[in-house]
Amino acid sequence: MTERTQRLARYQDDLARLLAALEPAERAEVLDGVREHIEGALAEVPGEASEADVNRILADLGSPGQVAEAALAERPATGPYTPGATGVVTTIDLLRSKLVGRWVPPVALVAVMVGGAFIFWGFPAILLGAGILAIAISPLWTGAERVWGAIGLPVFSFMIFGSFLILHRWEASVAGLGVHTISFYLFAALSLATFIVLWIRGTRRATRLSRDVSHQSDGRLV
């Protein structure tokens, strides 16, 4: 597979992820339209399409985020009209297309980790809720990764210090360490590992989207 083919495939994969809120038929319609546009534009290029040609074609389409935002904004309302309901859905859909920057993984994951660890103090629950919402909405993670980020990470972080409150009465020990101490290190390791993996994967996808936007901007200057 050539670099050109890989880039076009990444573009369509990123767009499909951003359109996750659409019904399958609607999503397929948008993706088919984009695919037909790309194939038609490539067919008009004499000979083998160059990187500049690909940049120009994708620049004409817009970034995956822009295409997804336009598709979500133009989605017709279905079913009986309920005051406020359509607006809420549209707002969430548009947020999904916005939460693709490289700032999203560190901010969302830190909020979840800190909120989960210090939720005993009460106010960190706001951080926890905001972080979970960002992870659940952002298309930078897969479904399984969202579960680890929205459920696994806060639970592990909570148990870092919660283990002392829950297990402090246990007398059992291993190699001189109390059960609560072992639990502390175990959940700290799980929390850190989950944090790092999700940060790397989310940042990698955000960087790819940013690079595509940059390439498209360069294509407009060619």
Contact 72, 22 (CB under 8 A): yes
* pLDDT more than 90, % of the chain: 20
Task: Express each pLDDT in 29-63 by its tens digit.
Answer: 888 888 888 888 888 888 777 778 888 888 888 88
Q: Would you put residue 68 in left (φ > 0), alpha (ψ -120 to 50) or beta? A: alpha
pLDDT band at 149 (very low <50, low <70, confident <90, very high): very high
Buried b (16+ CB within 10 A) or exposed e, 155-192: ebbbbbbbbeeebeeeeeeeeeebbbebbbeebbebbe
Is the pLDDT higher at 165 or at 135?
135
- Residue 91's pLDDT band (boundaries 50, 70, 90)? low
Residue 178, helix vs strand vs coil:
strand
Q: Does the predicted model carry a pTM greater than 0.75?
A: no
Residue 105: what pLDDT?
Answer: 94
Residues in the chain, overall count: 222
Short-list 65, 67, 87, CA closest to 77? 87
137 vs 98: CA distance, rounded Å: 10
Residue 175: predicted pLDDT: 45
